[in-house]
Each structure stands twice: as C-alpha cells, then as structure tokens.
Amino acid sequence: MFTFFRLSMNACRECLREPVYYLMLVAALIMIGLFPYFAMFVFRQQIRLVCDSSMATTLLFGLFAAVLCSARTISREMKNGTVLLLMSKPVSRFAFVISKVGGILASLTIFVLVCNSATWLSILIAKDQFRPSTPLLICYFGAICLAALFGGIRNFISQKSFSSGAVVAMAVLFPVISLIAQIIRSRTMSDVMKADPESFIDPGVLLPALCMLFFAVWIMGVISSALATRMEIVGNLMVCLILFLIGMVLHYFAAAAFGTGSVIALLCTSLVPNWQLFWMADALSNRVVIPVSYFAWTLVYSVLYAAAWTGWAFFLFQDSELARDTR
Amino acid sequence: MMIEAEHLFKRYGTRLVVNDLSLRVNVGDVLGFIGPNGAGKTTTMKMISGVMPPYAGKVRIDGIDIEAEPRLAKSRIGFLPENAPLHMTMTVRDFLAYTGRLHGFSGRELARRVDRAIERCALKEAAGQEIESLSKGYKRRVCLAQSILHDPKALIMDEPTDGLDPNQKRQIRELILSLKEETAVIISTHILEEVDAVCSRVFLLCKGKTRFDGTTDEFRAKADALHTDLAGLFSAMTEGEQA
C-alpha cells in the first residue's frame, strides 16, 4: 500500500513538473476566462454559452493532458529505462501499473479541478451580457499571474520546479476564489434575480454537471495509460482522439441502426466509452437538476470502465519488453 | 551461493538471445561479464535482477527463487542499469530518498542511508541539485548510489564506469573492491582493463552462449598460452560470431 502511494505520488509529481502540463492548463484557463467576452450581446444566452464552451474546453484539454501525462510517466520511462530502476526494486509489475494510473488520475484530477473552478468563476463573470464583472475578471487573471509568481519565487529560492509550484498554487487559488465569489454573489442577489435563469445558475445544478467531467477525463487517462505501454505520444494521441470522436457519435448511430437496448448497441456502449453520458450542457441550459441516480450510475460506469482499461494496461505492460533503448 | 542462474534461455520473437546460460557468484567474487555487442549481456543482467522473466531457467538470489518470491529476492539486489536512467527533475537527495522508501526505509534510517550513499559515491556537492543539470559522470554515480543504498547482497552493474573520467573510474573501482567483502558483484563491461583491475572471475558470453567461465588468472593464463594479451584473446574467442 505504501509502495503504491509512493509511486503514485511520484508519478503525479512528475506530471505536474512537466512544463507542457502547465502551459496546457494556462491555455485552457485563458480560453475559459475570455469566454464571457466572446459571449457578449448574445440575447441573454451568455451563461449557457460560457458553460458549453468552458466544459468543452475542459474536456478537450483534459484529453490532451491525459495523453501527455501517460506519455510522460509510462512511455518515456519505458523508453529511457527508468522503469528498470523501479522494477529492480521490490515492486511488482501490477503495483507499477496501478500506481502509475493512480498518479496520472491524480494529476488529471488537479487539472479538471482548476478548469472546473475557472468555469464556475467564468460563469460568475458573465453575469450580464453587456457588462461582464471586471473585478472578478481581474481576480481570475490575477490568480494565474499570482500562481506564476509563486512558482517563480519557489524556483528561484529553493530550485524546485516552477511548473509544479504554479499548478499547485492555481489548484488552491481557483477553488477558493470561486467559492468566495459564489458566496458573495448569492448574498448580494435578490430572490427575483436568482430566479432569472439568464443571470444566475444554481450551484446544485452546476456542480454535478462539472463533476461529470472528472469521470470523463479519468476514463481518458486510463485509456491513454493503457495505450502508453505500447505507444509513443503521437500514436497515443491519435488513438485517443479517434476513440473520443467515435465515442461521441457511435452510440447514437448504433441505437438508430439496431434499436435502443439491442445487443449490438449494448456492445458498442461497452467497447467504446459513451462520452455523451458525461456531457450535461443540455441539462444545464434547461436548468434541469441531474438526478442522483443518474450521477451514481455514471460513476459506476466510469469505475467499471476504468477498471477494465487498467486490467488491459496491466496485460499490455506484463507482456512488454522494458527499456527498449537500453537493450 | 549468493547469485545462481541455471539454464537461462531468452527469446525476442524467434531470436534466441540467451542460450542455456548458467552462472554462480558468491560473496567476495567480482564477476566480469564480457562479450561483444549483442552477446546477450544486458538481457542476462535484466533476468538476474528480476526486471525481465527468463523464457526458461531459474534465478536464485541468496537461495530465494526470484520468480517465486520476487519482492524478497529483489530486496537483496542492487541493480545499476546501462546509461544511468534517472528521474531527471528530482534532486539527487530526493531521488535517493525515493528509492530508499521503495525499499521500505523511512525516518532517520532513510536519512542515514541516503547520507551514507551520497558520501560513498562522492555526491556531496551535487546533493541538492536537479539530476538533469548534472554531468554524465555524476549521473552515473547517482545511479550507483541508489543501487547500494540498501546494502544489497547481490550487486549487478551494467557498464558502471561508462562515461566517467579516469579519476572517477578509479574511485568507482575502489568502491566496488570495498563492496565485495559483503557482496556478490557482477559487472558487465567492454573494458578489459577493468576486468583485470577489479574482477576475480571472468564470464565471456557470445551470441548468448558461454565461451569462458573461470578466474581472471585462468583467463590471463589462456591469453599467455596463445602469446597474446586479453584483447587478443577476446577477439580470438568471439571473432566471426558477433551479432
């Protein structure tokens, strides 16, 4: 258990230290932060637009982050021989795979947490289609700058990774700022304004929809981890993108062609992840509260799917030759 | 017997890279594992260190079957892979602490072992630096430090002095000689001078097959009998059979 924890922690740290991880996170945050301005003068649809765009950004950048993290911690280690060091220690291959997947999922959780908090903040910024909240916008981009400053100072003083310092700072700042902003907004708004769906979104509706993105990105992380045991980053990204695109439409076409509940449609749902299950933008735009049962079943689906791909990752790793460059 | 390998075979696809290899190394022995490129040295070392399972055959470390009880057997092994693969973004001290924790050390015991490994491998100046910023020689010493941190009973080193300057080579050879009192050591090398300097036994491998297994004195005597040096004997025993 301790070995698993140590290896997972190290895999997570390795991901956070990766400058590309930081750059991807900042790029996603900048996009999410600017959506309220792209959604101006849209006939009171600004919150829906910001929600849709931000969630799509999180999902897509989450996919890239998943591939990057798995390539960083599995493919590269297998290629450069670092895995030899670990496998010569009292560490089994099973523990290695499980802990690497655990570390990758932990780093992806941080990624989605920051993006979701940013989405929340961005929705609060887009309170009015003509006048986005400037103080919140300053807080939003100030948090990115402050995190970079923290990472820089930490790097200068203690020679620790800039990227990991900045990411951890963002993982603290964004949820805290979002929470404070939400509390202030809830207290300052009248009940009449809260009832207006174009200027306020209930956290009870928004939160489950954002949580669904964690499940989707975790599944991507496990799939890319399994592929990373055999593929380099480009091949991994290609296969993940194809699975992503197919998973978006396959279930619809399978149900249309073979009928909902048919064996073939069920097989499609089992083999390729149904990303539509996690996409709650439509429910959000209609202000529908996601039922607890739906949320629970999606969680079960994600866990089972992740377990199946982890097993597949272990099977591929068990049979693979280690340290191809050093042999 | 500390390291025992019996009838090892290994295939990569249809290619047989290790063919019925057996060896035994005891505490006090330093076995020089030599052979041309592609002879199967690194593959054999990976099998002995438990990183890669053999196609057939058995490996025992201190009497423990490495396939039956891998964790117990591996806790007795120190392995230095070729090219010093390390976690480049960690500092030397963090990396050694990380590998020490994987062996189950913590607290003061871990700190003591890390300090001792740093001292033995002359890494004091670089202890706080990121591994990525170190020279090739330092990286190799960091890799060596992680392999001796837990006082292994069997030390398996794949080209330990590759990339080091003459002073560093001498230091590492002195360290290996100091370790052999409590450890069975296998060194894979291309440098025959190294075999002469530190090894008590020679194991010559070519195309996965054993060509010579004896003491360094016997190897030298064989060279003398052929009126040649060690390099000449090496060529005579391996030429025309290189992969």
Domain spans, chain B: 1-76+154-164+184-243, 83-151
Strand partners, B215: B201
| pLDDT tops 60 at residue A85 | yes
Rounded to an integer, what distance in angstroms lies between the CA atom of residue A233 and that of residue A244? 16
How near does any CA of chain A get to the CA of B89, in Å? 7
For residue A325, name the pLDDT band (cuts at 50, 70, 90): very low
B155 to each of A18, A130, B161, how far by Cα in Å?
A: 33, 71, 14
Instruction: Map tokens 């020689």 to a residue.
Output: B137
| pLDDT tops 60 at residue A326 | no
| pLDDT tops 60 at residue A323 | no
- Listed by start position, the domains of chain A span 2-318
ipTM score: 0.83
The confidence score (pLDDT) of residue A175 equals: 96
Q: Which residues of B fall within a CB distance of 8 Å from A96?
A: none
Rounded to an integer, what distance in angstroms lies between the CA atom of residue A303 and that of residue A284? 24
Do A92 and B70 make contact, defined as CB atoms within 8 angstroms?
yes
Do B89 and A322 make contact, defined as CB atoms within 8 angstroms?
no
Q: What is the CATH number of domain B1-76+154-164+184-243?
A: 3.40.50.300
pTM of the model: 0.85
Q: How far is CA B240 from the centre of its chain?
A: 27
Do B83 and A326 make contact, defined as CB atoms within 8 angstroms?
yes
| pLDDT tens track for A215-256 | 999 999 999 999 998 888 999 999 999 999 998 888 888 888
The confidence score (pLDDT) of residue B85 equals: 85
Tell me the pLDDT of chain A averaged across its residues: 87
A323 to each of A237, B11, B46, B52, B143, how far by Cα in Å?
A: 21, 16, 10, 10, 16
Do B146 and A321 make contact, defined as CB atoms within 8 angstroms?
no
C-alpha angle B85/A15/A217, rounded to 5°? 135
Rounded to an integer, what distance in angstroms lies between the CA atom of residue B85 and that of residue B202? 26
The confidence score (pLDDT) of residue B73 equals: 92
**Which residues, other chains included, contact A201 with Cβ-Cβ below 8 Å and sequence gap of 6+?**
A47, A51, A123, A284, A287
| pLDDT tens track for B39-78 | 888 899 999 998 888 889 999 999 999 988 988 999 999 9
Alpha helices, DSSP H, located in chain B: 41-48, 70-74, 92-102, 107-120, 136-148, 166-179, 192-198, 216-225, 230-238
Ranges in chain B, pLDDT < 50: 242-243
Identify whether the C-beta of residue A103 lies closer than 8 Å to the C-beta of residue A10.
Answer: yes
| pLDDT tens track for A17-61 | 989 999 999 999 999 999 988 776 666 677 888 888 999 999 999
| pLDDT tops 70 at residue A127 | yes
Rounded to an integer, what distance in angstroms lies between the CA atom of residue A120 and that of residue B8? 60
Which residues from B are below 8 Å from A when comparing CB atoms? 12, 42-43, 46, 49-52, 70-72, 74-75, 77, 79, 81-83, 85-87, 89, 91, 98-99, 101-104, 128-130, 143, 146
